[in-house]
């Protein structure tokens, strides 16, 4: 792998510091409608001051420094300061349980931790080892601000690091801990060259320039946000806005008016449900079919979403239902679907902008090779953005690759004649019914989640006569359940939804019933990951004992009572 030195992360910072010092680089909400803008000169100055502080601690080069915070300007500044000081960053999701916080901080050998903007600091604090040096941000929880020295105070008393310290391409840049759908988090090692190559290849597919704007709201600890937002920002010099909170998200979107927007499927579904809440689907379809009125309606809806200036929209991190993609295309906002994983910096496949490739994740990025294992049907790939391995886990690293050096993705798929990849499920997600037939749950889940009341779902049923669908309702639907008539309406609608789905499935795939659960699936109860993926093993632990009873109930819709 050969990357131009000027494309490495720190060199990009120095480039913008030198060529565009007065251009606004970051826009940070401070609360109460107040925002703070950072120019590239201010970004570089703060990074240099914090880097000087970290360097003064005397840790050996390549020491690990953690970042535990929601997305904010200081998150990016911390990452750059860690790198400039010669160290390795270790991001943590801002919603982790204390045991997971402790596990990652201990496993990574973290020398210090930035404790930033957090909603649940009280719950996470017990996971921070006693005596670990911590630094707070201006928007950290009050207790953290009181307990730890603050970012502003350190920058005020520390002269900026001079010159342009650089890190070679082969230097370890970060440990990105996986979100844990398949067990305890693993520390994926990536060097600076991996990121530079990923951006060089990615920018050939994703139209991104200094004129673009992005809203950063999905966790920066996740690989997609890290590559697309942080390294896209460094590569192109675009402006990054931050979201303040869930409550202000609509206002944050309106402020940013992003020209590039990435979201996970669950949030694309929520946007759609929000539109249908104000305008029923049938009425919207009718209006969109009228030439002039349809155009007005499209513009009005996209403006209300804050996406009227978006020229590139994308989804990923989980499968995007084809019907959802078709709905957005009809709305005038085609969503490109991407595929990747932490181990390859999320750079594997992406549908080609301007082409209707729905139902696939498109062809590989430039420089990426993909193949399907003849035995298992597993997607395997290789590129110059592959991880160096899992930190302190040589055996797991060996298992992640084939003997000839291809990454085992764990996903099943097929490649069509044009090189487009279609994901058909996880290798280990397939289950066999009592009739001896295998069922791939993912395609059925894509259909099931498209009902307006469904927030998330899982299809399960190993050793049952037929699969069953388990659904969690969204907040709006849950609020209606107290009304008996509304509950009956939801039940009837879900039963009709199941009938419609079953009409599209082979007999052995058809759902026996839909089970509506009463327990919310959250990160806190360890049912979903911080990127909103449902943990199938946890679903089995919680509900498998009830499967036979639910199947035998004879009802199309079963309400979970225990």
pLDDT confidence bin for 281, thresholds 50/70/90: confident
Scanning 110-248, the segments in alpha helix (DSSP H) are 121-124, 142-147, 151-157, 192-202, 223-225, 232-236
Domain that includes residue 492, residue range: 431-559
Give the rounded percent of residues in the chain with a pLDDT score beyond 70: 99
Query: Does residue 180 surpass a pLDDT of 80?
Result: no
Query: Does residue 330 surpass a pLDDT of 60?
Result: yes
Give the pLDDT score at 157: 97
Section 430-442 average pLDDT? 79
Count of the separate structural domains present in the chain:
1
Angstrom distance (rounded) from CA 46 to CA 78: 9
Decide which of 21 and 531 is more confident: 21
Give the pLDDT score at 50: 98
Give the pLDDT score at 379: 96
CB-CB neighbours of 481 under 10 Å: 15
CA 326 and chain centroid, separation: 22
Tokens of residue 20, six digits? 């565009």
Query: Does residue 181 surpass a pLDDT of 70?
Result: no
User: Which helix (H) or strand (E) element contains residue 10?
Assistant: helix 9-19
Residue 37 in domain: no
The mean pLDDT of the chain is 92
Give the pLDDT score at 232: 97
Residue 186 in domain: no
Query: Does residue 318 surpass a pLDDT of 80?
Result: no
Give the pLDDT score at 183: 60
Query: Does residue 193 surpass a pLDDT of 90?
Result: yes
Query: Does residue 113 surpass a pLDDT of 70?
Result: yes
- 203-225 pLDDT, tens digit each: 999 999 999 999 999 999 999 99
Give the pLDDT score at 118: 96
Give the pLDDT score at 86: 98
- 527-545 pLDDT, tens digit each: 887 777 788 888 888 888 8
What share of residues in the chain are helix, strand, coil (percent, to 5)?
40, 20, 40
Residue 304 in domain: no
Give the pLDDT score at 99: 87
Section 294-316 average pLDDT? 91
Residue 468 in domain: yes
- 134-158 pLDDT, tens digit each: 999 999 999 999 999 999 999 999 9
Section 261-273 average pLDDT? 86
- 476-487 pLDDT, tens digit each: 889 888 899 999
136: helix, coil or strand? Answer: strand
pLDDT confidence bin for 26, thresholds 50/70/90: very high
- 349-366 pLDDT, tens digit each: 999 988 888 889 999 999
Give the pLDDT score at 1: 62
Angle at 553 between CA 547 and CA 559, to 5 degrees: 75
Query: Does residue 562 surpass a pLDDT of 80?
Result: no
Give the rounded percent of residues in the chain with a pLDDT score beyond 90: 65
Residue 466 in domain: yes
Global pTM reads 0.83
Residue 393 in domain: no
Q: Which residues of 146-162 are buried (b: 16+ CB within 10 A; e: fewer)?
A: eebebbeebbeebeebe
Query: Does residue 8 surpass a pLDDT of 90?
Result: yes
CATH code at position 528 = 3.30.300.30
Give the pLDDT score at 182: 52
pLDDT confidence bin for 176, thresholds 50/70/90: very high
Among the listed ranges 188-197, 213-222, 313-322, 411-420, which one has the minimum average pLDDT value? 313-322
Residue 438 in domain: yes
518: helix, coil or strand? Answer: coil
Give the pLDDT score at 524: 81
Burial classification of residue 380, based on how many CB atoms lie within 10 Å of its CB (0-12 exposed, 13-18 middle, 19 or more buried)? buried
Burial classification of residue 395, based on how many CB atoms lie within 10 Å of its CB (0-12 exposed, 13-18 middle, 19 or more buried)? exposed
pLDDT confidence bin for 174, thresholds 50/70/90: very high
Residue 242 in domain: no
pLDDT confidence bin for 269, thresholds 50/70/90: confident
Q: How many CA within 13 A on the CB side of residue 92? A: 34
Query: Does residue 172 surpass a pLDDT of 80?
Result: yes
Scanning 110-180, the segments in alpha helix (DSSP H) are 121-124, 142-147, 151-157
Tokens of residue 78, six digits? 């911390």
The CA distances from residue 202 to 167, 171, 205, 411, 454, in Å, are 22, 21, 5, 22, 33
């Amino acid at each position: 792998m050969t990357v131009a030195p000027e494309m490495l992360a720190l060199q990009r910072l120095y480039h913008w510091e030198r060529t565009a010092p007065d251009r606004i680089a970051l826009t940070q909400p401070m609360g109460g409608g107040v925002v703070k803008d950072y120019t590239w000169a201010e970004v570089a100055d703060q990074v240099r001051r914090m880097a000087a502080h970290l360097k003064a601690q005397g840790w050996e080069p390549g020491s690990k420094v953690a970042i535990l915070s929601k997305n904010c300007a200081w998150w990016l500044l911390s990452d750059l300061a860690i790198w400039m000081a010669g160290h390795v960053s270790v991001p943590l999701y801002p919603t982790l349980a204390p045991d997971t916080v402790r596990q990652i901080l201990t496993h990574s050998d973290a020398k210090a931790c930035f404790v930033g903007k957090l909603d649940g600091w009280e719950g996470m604090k017990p996971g921070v080892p006693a005596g670990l040096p911590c630094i707070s941000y201006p928007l950290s929880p009050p207790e953290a601000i009181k307990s730890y020295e603050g970012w502003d105070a350190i920058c005020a008393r520390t002269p900026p690091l001079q010159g342009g310290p650089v890190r070679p391409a082969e230097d370890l840049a970060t440990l990105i801990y996986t979100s844990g759908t398949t067990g305890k988090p693993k520390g994926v090692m990536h060097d600076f060259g991996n990121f530079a190559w990923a951006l060089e290849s990615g920018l050939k597919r994703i139209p991104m320039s200094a004129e673009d704007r992005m809203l950063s709201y999905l966790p920066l600890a996740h690989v997609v946000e890290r590559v697309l937002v942080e390294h896209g920002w460094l590569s192109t010099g675009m402006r990054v806005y931050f979201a303040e909170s869930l409550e202000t998200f609509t206002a944050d979107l309106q402020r940013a008016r992003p020209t590039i927007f990435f979201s996970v499927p669950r949030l694309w579904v929520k946007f759609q449900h929000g539109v249908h809440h104000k305008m029923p689907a049938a009425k919207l379809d009718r209006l969109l079919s009228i030439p002039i009125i349809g155009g007005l309606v499209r513009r009005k809806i996209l403006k209300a979403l804050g996406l009227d200036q978006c020229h590139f929209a994308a989804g990923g991190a989980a499968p995007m239902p084809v019907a959802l993609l078709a709905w957005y295309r009809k709305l005038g906002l085609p969503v490109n679907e991407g595929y990747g994983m932490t181990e390859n910096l999320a750079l594997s496949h992406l549908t080609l902008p301007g082409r209707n490739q729905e139902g696939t994740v498109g062809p590989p990025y430039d420089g990426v090779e993909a193949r399907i294992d003849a035995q298992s049907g597993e997607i395997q790939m290789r590129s110059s953005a592959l991880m160096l391995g899992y930190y302190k886990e040589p055996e797991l690293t060996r298992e992640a690759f084939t003997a000839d050096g291809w990454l085992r993705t764990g996903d099943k798929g097929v490649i069509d004649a044009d090189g487009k990849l279609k994901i058909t499920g996880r290798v280990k997600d397939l289950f066999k019914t009592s009739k001896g037939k295998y069922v791939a749950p993912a395609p059925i889940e894509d259909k099931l989640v498209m009902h307006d009341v469904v927030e998330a779902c899982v299809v399960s049923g190993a050793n049952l006569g037929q699969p069953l669908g388990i659904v969690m309702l969204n907040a709006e639907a849950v609020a209606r359940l107290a009304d008996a008539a509304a509950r009956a309406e939801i039940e009837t609608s879900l039963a009709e939804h199941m009938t419609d789905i079953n009409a599209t499935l082979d007999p052995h795939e058809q759902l026996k019933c839909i089970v509506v659960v009463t327990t919310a699936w959250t990160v806190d109860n360890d049912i979903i990951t911080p990127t909103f993926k449902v943990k199938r093993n946890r679903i089995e632990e919680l509900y498998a004992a009830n499967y036979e009873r639910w199947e035998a109930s004879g009802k199309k819709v079963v309400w979970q009572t225990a």
